[in-house]
Amino acid sequence: MITNEDLLQKLLSNVVSLTESKREDILRAYYFAEEHHKGQKRLSGEEYIIHPLSVAIILTEFHADYEMIIAALLHDIVEDTAVSLDEIKSAFSDNIALLVDGVTKITKLKSASKREKKAETIRKMLFAMTKDLRIIIIKFADKLHNMRTLQFMSKEKRKRISKEVIDIYAPLAGKVGMNLVKDQLEDLAFKWLHSDAYSIINSYFNRIEKDRVRTLALVKRKLTDQLQKNNIYFRIKSRAKHFYSIYKKMKKYNKSIEEIFDLYGIRIITDSIANCYQIFGVVHILWQPLPGRFKDYIAKPKDNGYKSLHTCVIIEKRKAVEIQIRTEEMEEINEYGIAAHWYYKKNYQPDLKELKWLKQLKEVHNEGLGSIEYYKTLRDDILKDLIYIFTPKGDIIEMPKGSTPLDFAYRIHSEIGHRCRGAKANGKIIPLYKPLKNGMVVDIITGKDSNPKESWLSFIKTSHARKKIKSWFASHKQQDTDIKQENKKQESKHVNKEQPKENLPKIISSKDMQIEVNGEKNLLYSFAKCCKPHPPDPIVGFISRGRGLIIHKKDCHNIKSIKDFEKRKIQANWVLRNWRNIYTFRFMATEDSSPFDEIGRVIYKYSGIFIESKIFGNHTKDGRKDGFFSVKFPKKTNISLLLKEIRKIPTILNIEKEY
Ligand code: MN
């Protein structure tokens, strides 16, 4: 078993390059922490000091400066012991106290749920981070060590913490370019969040390990021969397998692990950009490249500053190897991101123009959102990867990945969002729920009288659009209630007058329906002039003297005054005339809905017709239900009105007539 002593030695050996007085400070911080955590145990049963010590060691691997290392040793003291922040300030320094405070949880929020407290803690930390980015680097080291020892937590807690890592910490690490941390955090969280998928991938890798080692050795040998001949400096690194990205690929392309191509990967690191391209040429001479897989992130770096050449080549038969080529400096910055900047330039403070998301983060802090809302904005708007969407005029709008045309509409202007009726991407109509792709030209179609639909809330991606839609409904519901209250006042003034009735839109003309009385369709009848029944109004028949069968609405106020009505009434229903069309509809619904029940209810409400005919069923994909069904309607049915009503069902994302 590893002891405190072993770890302390490791820490000290990792900081030998620091000055003597700095190393003494680090040692002093260690004894300070050890003394105050004395007697505390971790869930694993180890001494608590193991944790801050491990966090400090992880930080030395990120090339952290000595203030960060000291803060790491002290980071849980304020939270877990009687020591105050002021004491840390006087024992160490203001700077170190600031770093410690930044990673200290909020525990004193009374009457807040666990979720709110978590969100509030993240808000506090990120607010502090906008002043000193080193705080987030310490937090990453803290998270990494906690994630590595997560097995001692309860199952529920493991899942909750892992979810938060996937939502916030891993994307945040990506934003600051600390890709090594990001990958590690993702894999650790993935293991607990989707343990089945994790073990499938894991056992597959165990199965192919021999072949993987053999193939990569072959690639290395050939490359070395060729590059040495050309006298190019290089070193080759076998890449760590990143399970979570493999899992995401499987999900995205709906493939099994056997169908994923580039499970084998190596990295070639060299000393100049010119050599990167030369090596790239050599690679493509040695092996055939896979089309469409060459990416030049040197000429066009990713948003977080990532630079590299990527290509994928076919080694033997169907075996592909992904090859990354980059300089030593790129390697350092790709792996450690902002921490590497810190290491190279003293007192580095990032340029806000370079880090747009950080600027956005600062703006969000000023918005005064509720804790849960803040968490969602962070997760869905700020930390998502960006895609670039073009307006028809050629303006570029940045959107979080996964955004829909509707998110785009709201980003342009909230009025465009409210009046959005449809969207075209690259000239073709696409559904409003369909995620946009990078580089699309998107044209929003608006309608003068179009209004937001509640169903939008089930597929909208950005918190920005969600907020706008919700506030639209909030203000219109207020208006509705005002109108209703006004109506009530009016009603009470005329108590004796007829009660206002719900006026359903007519989707079927009464000509297309006939009346069935006791199973008999060929009776002569007429409609009462007082209430003018119309499908699907509930109806009742009255056998009059001289004028035959008269059909009234069931709730017609006149029938109460007809003598003998109760004796002479007869049950009547609407039925379709013989000629009718079959209409087929295709729909998309949320995963948790029962679409046939919900759609069926609306169809019945507006037409009196059941979905009696073919139900072809539905199936779930990507968290959505797809399906279709057919209904017999009269020829002149107002289908678009019916669709409009069905689209008001919150769980129905879309419905279209098939033919
Ligand atoms: Mn900690």
Whether omega before 505 lies within 30 degrees of 0, making that bond cis, reads: no
Residues 6+ apart with CB under 8 A from 520: none
Number of helices (H), then strands (E), in the chain: 25, 20
What pLDDT does 344 receive? 62
Residues 6+ apart with CB under 8 A from 334: 177, 179, 306, 307, 308, 326
What pLDDT does 501 receive? 43
Q: Ligand 1 center to residue 75 CA distance, Å?
A: 6
In angstroms, the CA 134 to CA 178 distance is 12
Are 21 and 66 a contacting pair, CB within 8 Å? no
Residues 286-305, buried b or exposed e (16+ Cβ, 10 A)? ebebbeeeeeebbeeebebb
Q: Ligand 1 center to residue 77 CA distance, Å?
A: 9
What pLDDT does 480 receive? 61
Q: Ligand 1 center to residue 23 CA distance, Å?
A: 22
Q: What are phi and psi of 233, to 5 degrees?
A: -70, 135
pLDDT in tens, 514-548: 788 776 776 778 888 888 888 878 889 888 777 77
Secondary structure (3-state) at 560: helix
Q: Ligand 1 center to residue 38 CA distance, Å?
A: 15
Residue 347: both structure tokens together: 């007192």
Secondary structure (3-state) at 633: strand
In angstroms, the CA 628 to CA 586 distance is 4
Q: How many residues does the chain have?
A: 659
What pLDDT does 496 receive? 40
pLDDT in tens, 27-52: 999 999 999 999 899 888 889 999 99
Kindly provide the residue ranges of all beta strands, DSSP E only, lying in 355-439, ordered along the sequence: 386-390, 396-400, 420-425, 428-430
The DSSP H or E segment spanning 327 is: strand 319-327
What pLDDT does 350 receive? 58
Q: Ligand 1 center to residue 63 CA distance, Å?
A: 19
Q: Ligand 1 center to residue 563 CA distance, Å?
A: 85
In angstroms, the CA 544 to CA 341 distance is 94
Please list the ranges in the chain whose pLDDT falls under 50. 490-502, 613-616
- Among 558, 561, 497, which Cα is nearest to 527's? 558
Name the residue type at position 517.
V
303 is catalytic: no
pLDDT in tens, 600-627: 888 877 877 766 544 445 566 666 777 7
What pLDDT does 109 receive? 63
Q: What predicted TM-score, i.e. pTM, was given to this entire model?
A: 0.66
What pLDDT does 491 receive? 46
Residue 90: both structure tokens together: 């006087």
Are 469 and 452 a contacting pair, CB within 8 Å? yes
79 is catalytic: yes
Q: Ligand 1 center to residue 142 CA distance, Å?
A: 5
What pLDDT does 369 receive? 81
Are 442 and 428 a contacting pair, CB within 8 Å? no
Distance of alpha carbon 447 from its chain centroid, rounded? 29
Q: Ligand 1 center to residue 51 CA distance, Å?
A: 7
Distance of alpha carbon 567 from its chain centroid, rounded? 63
Q: Ligand 1 center to residue 146 CA distance, Å?
A: 7
Q: Ligand 1 center to residue 601 CA distance, Å?
A: 54
Q: Ligand 1 center to residue 52 CA distance, Å?
A: 6
Longest pairwise C-alpha distance within the chain = 116
Are 634 and 608 a contacting pair, CB within 8 Å? no
What pLDDT does 36 receive? 92
Q: Ligand 1 center to residue 371 CA distance, Å?
A: 22
Secondary structure (3-state) at 190: helix
Q: Any long-range contacts for 252-260 (C-beta under 8 Å, 24+ apart)?
A: 257/200, 257/201, 257/204, 258/204
DSSP state of 166: I
Q: Ligand 1 center to residue 105 CA distance, Å?
A: 10
Q: Ligand 1 center to residue 337 CA distance, Å?
A: 22
Burial class (CB in 10 A: 0-12, 13-18, 19+), 486: exposed
Q: Which of 46, 47, 80, 373 is catalytic?
A: 80
**DSSP states of 78-107:** HHHSS--HHHHHHHS-HHHHHHHHHTPPP-
Q: Which of 24, 35, 79, 564 is catalytic?
A: 79
Residue 373: both structure tokens together: 């809302």
Burial class (CB in 10 A: 0-12, 13-18, 19+), 396: exposed
In angstroms, the CA 344 to CA 358 distance is 21
DSSP state of 380: I
DSSP state of 165: I
pLDDT in tens, 431-449: 898 899 988 999 999 888 8
- Among 62, 47, 79, which Cα is nearest to 14's? 62
Q: Ligand 1 center to residue 366 CA distance, Å?
A: 28
- Pairing mode of beta strands 549-553, 569-576: unpaired
Are 152 and 404 a contacting pair, CB within 8 Å? no
Residues forming beta bridges with residue 235, ordered by sequence position: 269
Please give the span between the terminal C-alpha atoms of the chain, in angstroms, as a whole number: 71
What pLDDT does 497 receive? 39
